[in-house]
Amino acid sequence: MITTFPPVILASKSPRRQELLQQMGIDFRVVLKDVDESFPAFLQPAEVAVYIARKKAEAFDDSLQENEIVITADTIVTIDGLILGKPEDEQDAFRILSLLSGKTHEVITGVAFLYKHKIHAFYDSTTVYFRGLSDEDKWFYIRNFKPFDKAGAYGIQEWIGHAAIEKIEGSYNNVVGLPTFRVYQELQKILADK
């Protein structure tokens, strides 16, 4: 098992992803690049998450040092074929939470590593069971937790995760924003192949 990693760049401003990588014992620095996150309309949800993660990684190909590895990720929430991104405002957050209320949805995180000019990408999916939320619950959450930086307008680690999520199937950390078990396993694979 590899426990010493080459220099790692995390291309994410998400404090949740940063915290998860720290908890994994991986030293990293954060470097951000502007990337167009649009995607072809014909892609399936899992393909969208991987497509965007790959685009984020590709942005580093010309600036990466020989021994550095870039980690990028993109998390989406999908229900009934719809891809739910980050809410634009309170009304949009309310609309998204209304779509999720009392239903099951999928949280998909696409992850890409750029190492030695090669991209290795994968995704992880978690099924989330939401109980029905009253309008009062939705407004309480939106006004107190301001979920505008979160796909699907919620953070499982916040109040709503305790009060509204009945159960999940899959990785909890995937819902937070980074499927840490898969990340660790996939890092082991690509570093063993160097």
Catalytic positions are 74
List C-alpha distances in Å: 125 to 49, 97, 117.
10, 19, 27
- Rounded Cα gap, residues 130 and 64, in angstroms: 41
Number of H helices and number of E strands within the chain? Answer: 7, 7
Q: For residue 85, what are the CA distances in angstroms to 23, 97, 149, 150? A: 26, 12, 9, 8
Question: For residues 9, 181, 168 and 152, what is the CA-based torsion angle, rounded to 10 degrees?
Answer: 10
Task: Look up tokens 């939401």; give the residue.
Answer: 130
Tokens of 147: 């979920």
Q: How many CB atoms lie within 10 A of CB 7?
A: 13
